[in-house]
Structure 1
């Protein structure tokens, strides 16, 4: 079964899911530059996995797509917010922000 998947196009949006359906969030990331996504999310969202997928023929230092898989615990409204930053430089280094609200029936 294919998971519902959200990406940068869903930024700021509200999306509906059937009860307790797992879903994925996919955002581009180039960790070799030091910029990585930092996520904060609702307490009742369980993070099942996080992985970076690179293109088949990627040069050294190339980025990829970070994919997180979440499982809602129950019904209600859940949020995910993220910032793309260099953690050691703090909030002054944030180059992108993301927010998604997921409503589970």
Structure 2
């Protein structure tokens, strides 16, 4: 009889342990990432949510992104990473990554222009634009 009670108590303890452990797991939030293909789109972001914009950049050619954004967005990080290659190729491009946090509800905007800053911006100069409307709820 004592063995049976001990066995039941052990089983209850094991089951209780697994129930408690399963409640402790936390789902990782998926961080939204936007790129050139999202230019011109309107996206929905929750207030307090963090998201990324990743765009191709090749600073060795003199071209770089000049990003502007409204005050309802906070820039958390701004980082360029050269493309992974087996050899370090001089002049190889990479990815520029901006991490933003939505800090104010309403419609926010991010605009970028990819150009050589010393050339200015006019019709005869080659440049690319990026624009994203962010609706923060």
| Interval of TM-score (by shorter of Structure 1 and Structure 2) | over 0.9
Which 5+ residue runs of structure 2 have no aligned equivalent?
1-28
Partner of 1:68: 98
Q: Which has the higher contact order (CA 8 A, sep 6+)?
A: 1
Task: Provide the alpha-carbon RMSD of the alignment.
Answer: 1.3
What is the TM-score when the length of structure 1 is the normalising length? Answer: 0.92
Deviations 1:75-105 (A, max 9, x none): 1111001100111110133510111001111
**Which has the larger share of strand?**
1
CA deviations on 1:22-55 (whole Å, 9 max, x unpaired) are 1100110000000000011102211111111222
Pairing of 1:74-93 with structure 2 (within 5 A): 74-92=104-122, 93=125
Instruction: Note closer, same or farther for the CA distance 1:66–1:4 as it changes in structure 2 (3 Å cut).
Output: same
State the TM-score, normalized to the length of structure 2. Answer: 0.72
Whichever of the two has the greater Rg, that structure is 2
How many residues are paired up? Answer: 105
Distance apart, 1:72 and its partner CA: 1.4
Aligned mates of 1:53, 1:104 — CA distance in 2: 28
**What CA distance in whole angstroms lies between the structure 2 residues aligned with 1:94 and 1:71?**
31
Task: Pick closer, same or farther for the CA change 1:82–1:91 going to 2, 3 Å.
Answer: same
- Structure 1 unpaired stretches of 5+: none
State whether residues 109 and 131 of structure 2, in contact with CA within 8 Å, keep that contact through their aligned partners in structure 1: yes
